[in-house]
Amino acid sequence: MTYDRPGPGGRGWLLRLVIAFSFAQAAVSMARPAVSYRALSLGADERAIGVIAGVYALLPLFAAVPLGRRTDHGRCAPLLPIGVVLIAGGCALSGLANSLAAMAAWSGVMGLGHLCFVIGSQSIVARQSAPAEQDRNFGHFTIGASLGQLIGPVAAGLLIGGDMGRSSALALVVSAGVAAFSFVSLWRIERRTSPGSRPARGDKVPVHRILRTRGVPGGIFISLAVLSATDILTAYLPVIGEHRGIAPTTVGLLLSLRAAATIACRLVMTPMIRLLGRTALLAVTCLLAALLCAGIALPVPVWGLAVMLAVLGFCLGVGQPLSMTTVVQAAPADARSTALALRLTGNRLGQVAAPASAGLVAGVAGTAAPFVMLGALLLAAAGLGVRDGRTGSKGEEPGGGSVAGVGHDALSPPKVR
């Protein structure tokens, strides 16, 4: 794999990318609850809010693979300002919308913008990082997402109140301004390269071949499981709190504690990989997260819940960056951005299917049941990580170069089942 370095600036490009991603993710994390409150003020019921949330996740599915195809043989950086414009426009126009149909449409635009930004930025990290640096750089990159997820909902909560219609509209307009701040650091992130340094244009690698490449399905599933756990935890912990008499403020602090632990995990990703090895780290953290998710269903005191959520947040912080490295290094050399797009497609499908499944399970077996379901999902992810590691990386040393069975020599052809 050819990778590009921005030259004398060292890793300054990565810091600028993390800052830009923090603003973009904070805007989205701020806007999504504000969209729900704005829709409620326009007379939406639970079903309508579900449709609006679904449009955010489903609409970009149709654009993910074409965007990945384009990025594989071109520059990645142009997708970043396009994404910021779409996010900011979707946020602002959602705040000005006066109908539920318009809210759904602009929510889809916001989701498309977020997809553009993430595909572009992940492709930059993959392209400009040496194979041995990818775990570290993807870990630092995802700190931007965690910071945004930590700050955005808090900011939305501070702005929304009293007159729900006006305050939610204000929160959406403010979130558009937050997204616009991303432009401050969108400079010199990607170095212009000569055509010869990019993958040669040839026949497109079929999607089914990418999905059959050893390591890619496992990386996609682990990412889906971890993201589903994060989403359902955010959605259902308030319900658990309501049933157990835990104040909403305390629930908010518990969720913030989870996000802070995820950030801490990503700061120490490299030494953990050196200590355990990538396969073992993925398997152990997914297994521990599975047990902790199931444990949330137990009637533990608040302090016990805080400890569990802190450890759970730390464990969940491993899956996303390592699954990015897994997919990047396993995929064919001229289809890495497409593989990342497929990973994001899996994430979006999980964002739609997991909450729906959790709702069905909760309706049948009670509000704690979704956490048991998450435990089973993460347990399957742990097993898949171990299986991929055993079939493809025999003799892997801690901190070694294999990811789900693919070594650091990215020029060697991937093995296809």
- The pLDDT score that the predictor gives to residue 332 is 78
Cβ pair 393, 216 in contact under 8 A: no
The rounded distance, in Å, linking the Cα atoms of 202 and 188 is: 29
pLDDT band at residue 66 using 50, 70 and 90 as cut-offs? confident
- The pLDDT score that the predictor gives to residue 366 is 73
In which residue are the tokens 């789900």 written? 404
- The pLDDT score that the predictor gives to residue 181 is 93
Burial of 326 per CB tally in 10 Å (0-12, 13-18, 19+):
buried
Residue 408 has pLDDT above 90, yes or no: no
- The pLDDT score that the predictor gives to residue 279 is 82
Residue 375 has pLDDT above 60, yes or no: yes
Return the axis-axis angle of helices 134-159 and 248-267, rounded to nearest 10°.
160
Backbone dihedral angles phi then psi of residue 144, each to the nearest 5 degrees: -60, -45
pLDDT, one tens digit per residue, over 88-104 is: 999 999 999 888 899 98
Write the DSSP assignment of 213-246 as a string of letters.
BTTHHHHHHHHHHHHHHHHHHHHHHHHHHHHHT-
Nearest C-alpha neighbor of 346 from the set 373, 376, 317, 377: 377
Mean pLDDT of 343-354: 78
| H or E segment to which residue 56 belongs | helix 46-58
Mean pLDDT of 172-186: 92
| Stronger pLDDT, 283 or 352, i.e. the higher one | 283
| H or E segment to which residue 147 belongs | helix 134-159
- The pLDDT score that the predictor gives to residue 192 is 60
pTM of the model: 0.74
- The pLDDT score that the predictor gives to residue 383 is 81
Residue 2 has pLDDT above 50, yes or no: no
Backbone dihedral angles phi then psi of residue 412, each to the nearest 5 degrees: -75, 145
Residue 405 has pLDDT above 50, yes or no: no
Residue 268 has pLDDT above 60, yes or no: yes
The rounded distance, in Å, linking the Cα atoms of 130 and 4 is: 8
Mean pLDDT of 57-73: 76
96 CB neighbour count, 10 Å cutoff: 12
Cβ pair 281, 273 in contact under 8 A: yes
Considering just the CA atoms, what is the radius of gyration of the chain in Å?
Answer: 21
Sign of CA dihedral 238, 242, 247, 248: positive
The rounded distance, in Å, linking the Cα atoms of 326 and 317 is: 15
pLDDT, one tens digit per residue, over 120-168 is: 888 888 888 887 888 888 888 888 888 888 888 788 878 887 777 888 8
Nearest C-alpha neighbor of 117 from the set 51, 193, 63: 63
| Stronger pLDDT, 200 or 303, i.e. the higher one | 303
| Stronger pLDDT, 179 or 153, i.e. the higher one | 179
Contact residues for 412 (Cβ-Cβ < 8 A; gap 6+): none
Of 1-5, 106-110, 134-138, 369-373, give the range with the top mean pLDDT: 106-110
- Percentage of residues in the chain with pLDDT exceeding 90? 18
Cβ pair 122, 67 in contact under 8 A: no
Residue 402 has pLDDT above 50, yes or no: no
Q: Which amino acid is at 376?
A: A
Residue 70 has pLDDT above 90, yes or no: no
| H or E segment to which residue 165 belongs | helix 164-180
Rounded to the nearest integer, the mean pLDDT of the chain is 79
- The pLDDT score that the predictor gives to residue 229 is 84
Mean pLDDT of 56-74: 76
Q: Which three-class secondary structure state does DSSP give residue 405? A: coil
Residue 323 has pLDDT above 90, yes or no: no
pLDDT band at residue 85 using 50, 70 and 90 as cut-offs? very high
> For 365, how many CA atoms within 13 A lie in the half-sphere containing its CB?
11
- The pLDDT score that the predictor gives to residue 385 is 67
pLDDT, one tens digit per residue, over 208-257 is: 788 777 878 888 888 888 888 887 787 677 777 778 888 767 877 888 88
Burial of 302 per CB tally in 10 Å (0-12, 13-18, 19+):
middle
pLDDT band at residue 196 using 50, 70 and 90 as cut-offs? very low
Mean pLDDT of 263-288: 88
Q: Give the lowest-confidence range in 65-74, 307-316, 338-347, 388-397.
A: 388-397
Instruction: Give how far Cα 340 sits from Cα of 80, 141, 367, Å.
Output: 15, 14, 34
